[in-house]
Amino acid sequence: AKFEGRNRVCRYDPAMEAEADARITLESELHRALERGELSLVYQPQVEAAGRRIAGCEVLLRWHNAKLGTVAPPRFIPVLESLGLIGAVGEWILQTALHHAKQWRQRCGELQLAVNVSSVQLKDANFAATVLALLQRTGFPPRALELEITESTLMECGETTLANIDRLKRGGVRLAIDDFGTGYSSLSYLHQFPFDTLKIDRSFVQNLHHNRNRELARHIISLGHTLRLDVVAEGVETEAQQEILRKLECDLLQGYLFYRPLPAAQFEAALRQRG
């Protein structure tokens, strides 16, 4: 045993060692995930609250590894960030999703593409330039791309992040505030940053049957509309939730009630059916 401070003794802890091993495996496997083609993208439709017509989709990252099986994004995305790999992976996500979405727009008409952006990507001074160059190279209209930025990203927002947000905005890209209502000062971000869309977090949607939450949702939606933002609700799972959100005049809905996140070919099939 090793002494640390006065009375604390650090003993060998097999559970902690197992955890450290798992982390090392995760890291070493993740280093090769992109080149080995283990990463893929799924697209979850966002539907108009009135009429359920598909208006766009959110692209979500998936990782399947031979040793580890399927690993959930909240487990591996922070590791991509700490390993410094999120920049390259983020660029691959954008490039791949823009390529698909461009074809869908040509074959099936108007479509909005929403892409999640990590705080680490926004801290890269070249981020906005890279996004705008990708748009130009693909010939994808900037107005049809929406970048989703979480409240936690804005909390730790520095000069570089601000400059990126400003440059993207001036380039015509749309910005969404993601997981709205889960942070500490959601309201102050709304007027500080040039958002186009407000995404109500799933935690509010889950509890809409409680009066208090319904009133909160009503106010979030009307706040969004007052600021001329589109309002999207995520995690809609039941008819009852849909009905309430429609009555509250939420613009777009996203959730398992309508569609799960779909592989590209299945998303295109759903798009063709919308007519």
Find which of Ca ion, ligand C2E, none residue 261 binds, CB within 5 to 8 Å per kind. Answer: ligand C2E
- Is 15 or 210 the residue whose CB approaches ligand C2E more closely? 210
> CA torsion sign, 117 to 120 to 123 to 127?
negative
- Is 57 or 271 the residue whose CB approaches ligand C2E more closely? 57
Compute the least distance from the CB of residue 235 to ligand C2E, in Å.
4
DSSP labels for 14-54?
HHHHHHHHHHHHHHHHHHHHTTTT-EEEEEEEEEETTT--E
Q: Which long-range contacts (CB under 8 A, 24 or more apart) does 155-162 make?
A: 155/183, 155/184, 155/185, 156/119, 157/122, 158/123, 160/122, 160/123, 160/124, 160/125, 161/119, 161/122, 161/123
The footprint of Ca ion on residues 102-121 (CB under 5 A) is 116
Compute the least distance from the CB of residue 13 to Ca ion, in Å.
33
- Is 29 or 178 the residue whose CB approaches Ca ion more closely? 178
Furthest C-alpha separation in the chain? 72
Among 178, 224, 262, 267, binds Ca ion (CB under 5 A): 178
Compute the least distance from the CB of residue 153 to Ca ion, in Å.
11
Compute the least distance from the CB of residue 203 to Ca ion, in Å.
8
Contact window for Ca ion (CB under 5 A) among 39-47, 143-151, 239-247, 254-262:
143-151
